[in-house]
Amino acid sequence: MQLIADRWYVVLDSNELGRGEVLGRMRMGQELVFWRESSGKAFAARDRCPHRWTKLSNGKMVGDALQCPFHGFEFEGGGTCTKMPAHPERKISGAMSLTTLSLREAHGFIWIWTGPSEAPKGDPEFFDFSGYSASGSQLIVPVANSYTRAVENQLDMTHLPFVHAKSIGRFVKSPAMEVQTDVDGDVIRMKNSQSDVPGPEFWGPNIWRLKTGPIWQFLAFVPIDETHMQYYLRTYQPFATWEPAAWLIGKMTAASNDRVVGEDTPMVEGQPKGEVKLASGEVLVPSDGPIIAYRKWRKDKRREWPDWDKKASAPNDPPGDPPKEER
């Protein structure tokens, strides 16, 4: 799957992975396993035991070790195999290690680094929502198309009076508009020239926000595979910090956002499946400036992810003595 190189991608909400839990999810075109130690630290790896390639996500935690359900092999967070029950006295080969991923947990999300460069230290960059609460507001919405199509839908300002004619589109003065686009590194900002209010702000590779009055709408566009994604949608509001009140406000905004995203989803799913590219054959117009900017930004930053198969072909520690008939 083509992803942006050397970037942090949001892949899960932190609350989806409890302490001592194992979770299997398709993300970024690969079957991944996530697990969390008793300390709260989370890890991720390819969802494949190196022994017989069964899914580790069907396993369980034994203490702070991830145990394979097939033969009881156990792995620590760094991917090293620490227990091989069938041969307890035998030295465990380095080939019996997991293919682990660089993971960070910050801002209520779990993030994966795409490489190929080493992951930087510190938390992934995120919007400043200091003084705001998103309690109770999160929605997780599946969409049957590439996450790049969903991103472009949120960079498209001129669809509002048509797709959202019965909701947020009612507040658009006219369908005729000049859309201003500003690109600063991984950030794309846009604005309707009819309004003094700033428009949406996209931070590559997969987060977005929009100020609507005193609140912030937030989206993470999580890639599942080449033709499926999920929105993680939150509303950050400044009105209440007392948790019961914040949660109630969050639930009210979630109901409204569910309607709006429900209007968008058929449009995204009705487009050709798969990743969008700069030379797509579509006939773009001046108001598509943010979409053109996004495609240009992606063009030279994409890479095939992951590169596990290439690494697997490299020399590795021998797994042990082969059976006599294979010598």
**297/151 same-domain check:** yes
Secondary structure (3-state) at 298: helix
Q: What DSSP assignment string belongs to 24-90?
A: EEEETTEEEEEEE-TTS-EEEEES--TTT---GGGSEEETTEEEPTTT--EE-TTS-EEE-TT-TTS
**161/44 same-domain check:** no
**35/87 same-domain check:** yes
Q: Which residue would you say has higher pLDDT here, 235 or 280?
A: 235
Contact indicator for 133, 250 with CB cutoff of 8 Å: yes
Q: What is the structure's pLDDT at 323?
A: 39
pLDDT bracket for residue 327 (50, 70, 90): very low
pTM higher than the cut 0.85? yes
| Total domains present in the chain | 2
Nearest residue to 45 via CA among 117, 100, 112: 100
**150/87 same-domain check:** no
pLDDT bracket for residue 92 (50, 70, 90): very high
Q: Looking at the predicted structure, is the pLDDT value of residue 137 above 90?
A: yes
Read off the pLDDT of residues 2-38 as tens digits, 9 standing for 90 and up. 999 999 999 999 999 999 999 999 999 999 999 999 9
Q: What is the structure's pLDDT at 310?
A: 57
**285/154 same-domain check:** yes
79 CB contacts (<8 Å, ≥6 apart)?
A: 45, 97, 98, 99, 100
In a domain, 311, yes or no: no
Q: What is the structure's pLDDT at 195?
A: 77
Q: What is the structure's pLDDT at 238?
A: 96
Interval 99-121 mean pLDDT: 96
Q: Looking at the predicted structure, is the pLDDT value of residue 192 above 90?
A: no
**143/291 same-domain check:** yes
288: domain CATH number is 3.90.380.10
Q: What is the structure's pLDDT at 313?
A: 39
The CA-atom distances, in angstroms, between 198 and each of 41, 64, 179, 180 are 38, 47, 11, 10
Domain end marker among 74, 97, 113: 113
Which residue range(s) make up the domain with 103?
Answer: 2-113
Q: Whose structure tokens read 């598509």? A: 288
What whole-number distance in Å separates Cα of residue 25 and Cα of residue 34?
Answer: 8
Q: What are φ and ψ of residue 228, in 5° steps?
A: -145, 145
167 CB contacts (<8 Å, ≥6 apart)?
A: 256, 259, 260, 263
Q: Looking at the predicted structure, is the pLDDT value of residue 170 above 70?
A: no
Q: Looking at the predicted structure, is the pLDDT value of residue 316 above 60?
A: no
Domain end marker among 113, 147, 176: 113
Contact indicator for 285, 23 with CB cutoff of 8 Å: no
**109/145 same-domain check:** no
**160/278 same-domain check:** yes
Q: What is the structure's pLDDT at 279?
A: 83
In a domain, 101, yes or no: yes
**88/148 same-domain check:** no
What percent of the chain shows pLDDT beyond 70? 93
In a domain, 44, yes or no: yes
The mean of the pLDDT values for the chain is 91
Interval 53-59 mean pLDDT: 98
**49/107 same-domain check:** yes
Q: What DSSP assignment string belongs to 199-212?
A: --EEETTTEEEEEE
Can you name the residues that pair with 182 across neighbouring β-strands? 189
Read off the pLDDT of residues 279-314 as tens digits, 9 standing for 90 and up. 888 999 999 999 999 999 999 899 999 877 655 433
In a domain, 188, yes or no: yes
What whole-number distance in Å separates Cα of residue 260 and Cα of residue 237?
Answer: 18
55: domain CATH number is 2.102.10.10
In a domain, 186, yes or no: yes
**77/165 same-domain check:** no
In a domain, 133, yes or no: no
Would you state the structure tokens that stand for residue 117, as one six-digit string?
């460069």
Q: Which residue would you say has higher pLDDT here, 322 or 232?
A: 232
What whole-number distance in Å separates Cα of residue 207 and Cα of residue 127?
Answer: 9
Q: What is the structure's pLDDT at 200?
A: 94
In a domain, 313, yes or no: no
**75/173 same-domain check:** no
In a domain, 31, yes or no: yes
Q: Looking at the predicted structure, is the pLDDT value of residue 317 above 60?
A: no
Q: What is the structure's pLDDT at 167?
A: 76
